[in-house]
A and B are shown apart, each in its own frame.
Chain A
Amino acid sequence: MKTLLNTKLRYILPIALIVIAVGFIAYGVFDKEIYAVLSKATALCRECVGIG
């Protein structure tokens, strides 16, 4: 019984996380958070390259 529960949990937990993750990504895109990423990634980052 315990093993069966463990086996089920072993799939349920990551799949639940994947569903939540997809929801988060969709919300991030909807909330225009994606533009914050884009604007940082496309303007050469002075801190990354070590100037400043």
Chain B
Amino acid sequence: METAVKQKPKKTIMQVRKAVERRRLAIQAAFSIITNSYIVGFIRGTIYKGPLKQICVPGMNCYSCPGALGACPIGSLQAVFNQSDWSKGAWTDANGYTVTKPLYYFSFYVVGFLMLIGALCGRLVCAFLCPFGLIQDLLYKIPLPKKLKIKSFKHDKPFRYLKYVLLVVFVIVLPLFYEANPFFCKYICPSGMLLGGIPLMTYGSVFGNIAAGTGTGITSWAEAGGLTVLKLCILAATIILSIITYRPFCKYVCPLGAIYSFFNRISLYRYSVDESKCTNCGACRHACRMGVDITKTPNSPECIRCGDCKAACPHHAICAGFGKIKTSSAADANTGDAA
């Protein structure tokens, strides 16, 4: 007797890529919602002040967002460096905690946290766990005529180093020497304006300053000044550029991405290309929106580990994971190149 075995039709590469992207967006959205789930903050125009706020979140998630449950590591790093100039002795902070040793020239806590995440998975955080990465991903989905979408430009490569300069100057050096001035937060970061400033000031303007829970009284657009204008311009530029090109903030500006990028080469989670399967067809290079050629630099500092190249490879030559993965020696030897 013959049994007709119906074979499942194989998914096309395009279907696989779409499924991979949908899964990634779902993880990004779920993580962003969980880490910003302080509903009371949105209802009362205030921010969460509980003990969870001493724990850093892995992504660029402003702690001034009404829903934020954790602390942004870049903001935290500057906050600790900002205390390097304080006079010695005990002091009591805004929450009544007595701090007996206020001099910090190095942030063991935040640096340890960043090392832990970096050594585990490098920039995997950028693709899956960062709310500001998600926002840029969604903005890039806004349709535009093809000729208006820019994949790369002439000086793309040198511009990628800008994020390292911003990390050193605005996150480390200036906050270390100028007390109580988180320079990156203050003059550059569009995340605080988008996630904190706009919702809180709008809430205050619409409902009046009833957000007494903030204890600051700054919840209205009437307080807006030159700095507000500067930050709104940076935010507007980030939004427009994110529609035109893929993740401009991550590629050129983000100091957190810059820190994690140092770990891509050595993290437990890594990518590799099986040279025996790779035909050099270029499908992976074409699929990568971060401008990485994974066949040449499988763990490039610019790779956010989104998995698009893996899904696009028709020969299943690309592997990723924590465990033992087949490595291509020639490619692995090249991992140091930028992009």
Q: Which residues of A contact B109 (CB under 8 A)?
A: 24-25, 27-29, 31, 33-34, 37
Tell me the complex Cα distance, A17–B113, Å. Answer: 11
- Interface residues of chain A: helix, strand, loop or mixed (majority): helix
Q: Is the CB of B80 within 8 A of A22?
A: no
Q: Is the CB of A36 within 8 A of B225?
A: no
Q: Which residues of A contact B263 (CB under 8 A)?
A: 14, 17
Tell me the complex Cα distance, A14–B119, Å. Answer: 5
* B171 nearest CB across to chain A (Å): 13
How many chain A residues have a CB neighbour from B under 8 Å?
Answer: 41
Q: Which residues of A contact B51 (CB under 8 A)?
A: 38
Q: Is the CB of A41 within 8 A of B112?
A: no
Q: Which B residue's beta carbon lies closest to that of A46?
A: B218
Q: Which of A8-29 contact B (CB under 8 A)?
A: 10-11, 13-15, 17-18, 20-29
Q: Is the CB of A22 within 8 A of B224?
A: no
Q: Is the CB of B215 within 8 A of A33?
A: no
Q: Which residues of B contact A41 (CB under 8 A)?
A: 53-54, 63, 70-72, 75-76, 79
Q: Is the CB of A47 within 8 A of B216?
A: no
Q: Which of B70-100 contact A (CB under 8 A)?
A: 70-72, 75-76, 79-80, 82-83, 93-95, 97, 99-100
* B59 nearest CB across to chain A (Å): 15
* B115 nearest CB across to chain A (Å): 4
Is B120 close to A, CB under 8 A?
A: yes
- Determine which of A26, A33, A36, A45 lies in contact with B196 in the assembled complex, contact meaning CB atoms within 8 Å: A45
Tell me the complex Cα distance, A14–B193, Å. Answer: 35
Known: A50-B192, A50-B193. Is A40-B79 also a contact (CB below 8 A)?
yes
Tell me the complex Cα distance, A41–B201, Å. Answer: 18
Q: Which residues of B contact A25 (CB under 8 A)?
A: 108-109, 112-113, 116
Is B241 close to A, CB under 8 A?
A: no
Q: Which residues of A contact B37 (CB under 8 A)?
A: none
Top 6 A-B residue pairs of the complex, sorted by shortest distance between their CB atoms: A28-B109, A24-B112, A48-B192, A40-B79, A49-B197, A47-B186
| Interchain residue pairs with CB less than 8 A apart (28) | A6-B332, A13-B266, A18-B120, A20-B112, A24-B115, A25-B113, A28-B107, A28-B110, A29-B109, A32-B97, A33-B108, A36-B80, A37-B79, A39-B99, A40-B79, A41-B63, A42-B95, A44-B47, A45-B63, A45-B192, A45-B196, A46-B218, A48-B185, A48-B186, A50-B192, A50-B224, A51-B201, A51-B218
